[in-house]
Amino acid sequence: MESKFIIGNKRTGSLIKIIFFLLICSRVSGQQTEIIIETSSNAMVLATNEKGELSTSYFGKKLANKTEYLKIALQYKQGQEYTGVAGAAYTSAGAKNLLEPAIIVSHADGNNSLDLRYVSHEIKVIDSNVQLLGVLLKDPVYDFNITLFYKSYFNDDIIEQWSSIQHNEKGNVTLYKYASANLFLKAGSFWLTQYHGEWAKEMQPEEARITHGIKTLDSKLGTRTNLFQPSVFMVSLNSPATENSGTVLYGALEYSGNFKTDLELDYQNNLRIISGINNYASPYTLKPGEAFTTPAFIHLLSNAGKGAASRKMHRWARNYVIPNGNGDRYTLLNNWESTYFDFNEDKLKELLKDARKLGVDLFLLDDGWFANKYPRNGDVSGLGDWEENKAKLPNGITSLVKEATENGVKFGIWVEPEMVNPKSELYEKHPDWVIKQPKREEHYFRNQLVLDLSNPKVQDFVFGVLDNILSKNEDLAYIKWDCNAVIYNAYSSYLKNQSHFYIEYMRGLNRVLEKIRAKYPHVPMMLCSGGGGRVDYAALRFFTEYWPSDNTDPLERIFMQWEYSYFYPAISSSNHVTDWGKQPIKYRTDVAMMGKLGFDIVVNKLSKEELQFCQEAIKTYNTVKGIIWHGDQYRLSNPRMSSVASMLYVNESKTSAVMFNYLVNNRYGEGSKQPILLSGLDRNAKYRIEEINLFPGTKSSIDPETVYSGDFLMTVGLNPVVNSSRNSVALKLMSVN
């Protein structure tokens, strides 16, 4: 059988032929087409059969010789495949498919079947790391087509997949399901790590073997959609992956709204993963010529365990997603837990001085600064009325920004612009802007309702809240954007078609955020949603950092930050030192340093030593934050498996590192009895180790003069000497010549 490699197709051929290291290639043999998407470690092979049906013929570690992908299918003897489309690259419903579909449609004539056949594909080289493949599929009977997109990041082993659905039928088509991606994997067994949570209990992991049938991860909350379950997950192949070994697929949907991921272990023991916007209550009416583009589903396949996967994810996120992902961040003092709603200008002026005394870059004014008719003195009123409260702030935000600048600190502010308290002027003036069922009793989440962002007037209002504050205060340096409520009684008095509601809400939110970023590209923004209710890679395209949880008990945070760290880089994790938990301030500060450090404490209640400790810790942090934010992160000792948790950050040149170690079990005699194995260092380099963040008056148990080779530290390890009297130990490693 003669086969010929072609690079790209006719339209892109000439450009691409000159790029000899092309990563996606295709081969046509007879009528069949094979498209190979290669990243540094893996290959995803898409192939058509003689009918032009496109399937995923292979997804796994890449082969040295591309011609051998054709031989893979012969190695599987899994019995009869009744449909011929079980491994479809995008499974359609209503024809011969018998499994979970990626797309369900009802055509203009009421027919419910869809059959997709390969037409062509196109490859765009974006840069030396990134390529975009588009594969056009068409129904042979209906004028209905889908383009499947695969954006591959070579060095990162990441592929973003999405689809664009279009038709030219004689009337509207209804989409009942419209997934972003449809993966197909083969292995001996599959193990799912998923997360669940609640307020103050985010990112609780569970791992189990995937059994036959469908396991669904989803959200129907409308907004704050991660409250019970985030969309991120991992699937290990053959056996549960560990930090440093095993094959594991990371998955995440770039979407802040309702999501749905179905993991179907089919009767032939293959795993089908179908992920996208949740079709719950959302049949979508697609007009002729209109394109419905899904959000992207990101996946990353690692053959070297979870650690390598997470470091690739971090690098990708810093390079391609998070604004200023490789840049700088502000340390801050927040007033939420020190004042709650009870403050005025004088008190804030004192806090500005405290911020300076502490040595942080910025003061963040939280909730409670706005509303006059129904003052925001608690969470029951005022939300939506974004004028400064005259009793609390007679001279407005502008005077505070000025005062902060005079004190040598920057000023930031909290907003929650998507929401409204029924007790507010906004609600009185615009009841039609609020999401609620017209004939039903209102139901509140934290005494508030969600504004209808599907309405362009509401979009303008929400944009205006930010635009007004930012344009009036040029020096305003930081926004904390909160989103506390979920959507009950989903109904828009603006929309004609209620089944578009959840989708249009997210489109509206996206439009607002795009407009804000177009006008204010640089202002750092923290993504908060009553804690970590909206941490995802769609939102993180606009936000520089996220708030993992309102739970800042450092012991809890060690566990939570550990899990978040599989998916999101340290630079994006806002960690504040507060009064939660029983641990001393040193422990709390060390934990908060594993990301973007902030404080939310009453500075004048600190003892002299505590204040001195915090001041020195901030200075130290300023010398190591670059390693934590821009370096590689290694999870050394898992708090769920050991009495000591240990995390390491290593800079790119492997010349410096920071290691954090904590006692997470207070039973008698617990501590670091054995050395902890380090990772990611230069085996041939020599390192001196210095204990940092020592509490005034305490002595280190680590000898700063001993020199260790990278080889020793990564073969034997190091004992940080963690015990009940040294329950938090931070170490800095520096290479010496």
We find the least distance from the C-beta atom of residue 415 to ligand GLA, in angstroms, to be 10
**Helix ranges (DSSP H) in 389-429:** 396-406, 425-429
Binds ligand GLA (CB under 6 A): choice among 154, 233, 297, 336? 336
Judged by CB, which is closer to ligand GLA: 485, or 513?
485
Q: Which stretch binds ligand GLA (CB under 6 A): 63-71, 421-429, 510-518, 524-532?
A: 524-532
Q: What is the DSSP letter of 540?
A: G
- Tell the smallest beta-carbon distance from residue 547 to ligand GLA (Å): 6
Give least dist CB 549 to ligand GLA, A. 8
How many angstroms separate the CA atoms of 68 and 238, rounded? 23
CA dist 518 → 254, 329, 467 (Å) = 20, 20, 11
Pick the piece of the chain touching ligand GLA (CB under 6 A) from 45-53, 54-62, 528-536, 607-615: 528-536
Give the side-chain half-sphere CA count within 13 A for 484. Answer: 20
Q: Phi then psi for 454, rounded to 5 degrees?
A: -75, -20
Closer Cβ to ligand GLA, 118 or 546, answer by number: 546
Nearest approach in angstroms of CB 367 to ligand GLA is 3
Work out whether 202 is an interface residue with ligand GLA (CB under 6 A).
no
Residue placing its CB nearer to ligand GLA in the complex, 41 or 551: 551
Stretch that binds ligand GLA, among 33-41, 286-294, 347-355, 525-533 (CB under 6 A): 525-533
For residues 523 and 543, the answer to whether their CB atoms sit within 8 Å is no
**CB of residue 368 to ligand GLA, shortest distance in Å:** 7
Residue 532 in the binding site for ligand GLA (CB under 6 A)? no
Cα–Cα distance list, 314 to 158, 602, 680 (Å): 11, 34, 15
State the DSSP code for 546.
Answer: E
Cα(458)–Cα(436) distance, rounded to whole angstroms? 15
Least distance to ligand GLA, CB of residue 573, Å: 14
Tell me the per-residue interface mask from 41 to 80 with ligand GLA, x by CB under 6 A, - otherwise.
Answer: ----------------------------------------
Contact 571, 630 (CB under 8 A): yes
Alpha carbon distances (Å) from 168 to 163, 287, 289: 17, 8, 6
Q: Of the two residues 421 and 484, which places its CB atom closer to ligand GLA in the complex? A: 484
Q: Which of 531, 554, 671, 710 binds ligand GLA (CB under 6 A)?
A: 531
Nearer to ligand GLA, 486 or 611 (CB): 486
Binding letters toward ligand GLA, positions 337-376, x by CB under 6 A: -----------------------------xx---------
- Among 274-282, 404-412, 526-534, 655-663, which window interacts with ligand GLA (CB under 6 A)? 526-534
What's the gap between Cα 235 and its chain centre? 17
Q: Contacts with ligand GLA in 413-432 (CB under 6 A)?
A: 414
> Is 563 among the residues that bind ligand GLA (CB under 6 A)?
no
Least distance (Å) between residue 532 CB and ligand GLA: 9
- CB closest to ligand GLA, residue no: 367
- Residue 629, both tokens: 């934010």
CB of 366 or CB of 403, closer to ligand GLA:
366
Q: What is the spatial distance between Cα 506 and Cα 225, in angstroms, rounded to a whole number?
A: 11
Asked if residue 731 lies in contact with residue 658, where contact means CB atoms within 8 angstroms, the answer is yes
> Cβ of residue 480: shortest distance to ligand GLA, in angstroms?
7
Select 55 or 339, whichever has its Cβ closest to ligand GLA. Answer: 339
- Residue 577 structure tokens: 């030192």
530 in contact with ligand GLA (CB under 6 A): yes
Measured CA to CA, the distance from residue 736 to residue 12 in angstroms comes to 51
Helix orientation angle between 345-358 and 396-406, rounded to the nearest 10 degrees:
30
CA-wise closest residue to 160 among 190, 134, 186, 178: 134
Q: Name the residue nearer to ligand GLA (CB basis): 336 or 370.
A: 336
As a three-state string, the secondary structure of 146-194 is: EEEEEEEECCCCEEEEEEEEEECCCCCEEEEEEEEEEEEEECCCEEEEE
Closest CB 475 distance from ligand GLA, rounded Å: 22
Nearer to ligand GLA, 23 or 364 (CB): 364
Site map for ligand GLA, 464-493, x if CB under 6 A? ------------------x-x---------
Distance in Å, CB of 404 to ligand GLA, minimum = 19
457 SS3 class: helix
DSSP type of residue 484: -
Contact 137, 275 (CB under 8 A): no
From first CA to last CA, the distance across the chain in angstroms is 60
Shortest distance (Å) from residue 447 CB to ligand GLA: 11
Are 718 and 689 contacting, i.e. CB atoms less than 8 angstroms apart? yes
Buried/exposed code over 319-356 (b: 16+ C-beta within 10 A; e: otherwise): ebbbbebeeebbbbbbbbbbbebebebeebeebbbbbb
CB of 528 to ligand GLA, least distance (A): 5
Binding residue for ligand GLA (CB under 6 A) from 263, 528, 611, 685?
A: 528
Minimum gap (Å) between residue 639 Cβ and ligand GLA: 24
431-447 burial code (b ≥16 CB/10 A, e <16): eebbbbeeeeeeeebbb
**Count of residues that bind ligand GLA according to CB under 6 A:** 11
In whole angstroms, the minimum distance from the beta carbon of 376 to ligand GLA comes to 9
When the beta carbons of 325 and 598 are compared against ligand GLA, the nearer one is 598
For the chain, counts of helices (H) and of strands (E): 13, 37
Q: Please give the structure tokens belonging to residue 255.
A: 């979407």
CB of 418 to ligand GLA, least distance (A): 13
Q: Min. distance of Cβ 414 from ligand GLA in angstroms? A: 5
Residue 550 lies near ligand GLA (rule: CB under 6 A)? yes
Beta bridge partners of 527: 481, 546
* Residue 61 bridge partners (DSSP): 42
> What would the x/- binding string for ligand GLA be over residues 371 to 390, using CB under 6 A?
--------x-----------
**How are strands ordered across the β-sheet holding 4-6?**
4-6, 24-29, 32-38, 42-48, 54-61
Look at the chain and count its residues: 737
Q: Is the CB of 358 or the CB of 413 nearer to ligand GLA?
A: 413
At residue 471, what is the residue type? S
The stretch among 30-38, 297-305, 435-443, 523-531 that binds ligand GLA (CB under 6 A) is 523-531
Minimum separation from the CB atom of position 139 to ligand GLA (A): 47
- Interacting span for ligand GLA (CB under 6 A) from 495-503, 527-535, 636-644, 674-682: 527-535
Residue 39 or residue 574: which is nearer to ligand GLA going by CB?
574
Q: 563 in helix, strand or coil? A: helix
Binding site for ligand GLA (CB under 6 A): 336, 366-367, 379, 414, 482, 484, 528, 530-531, 550
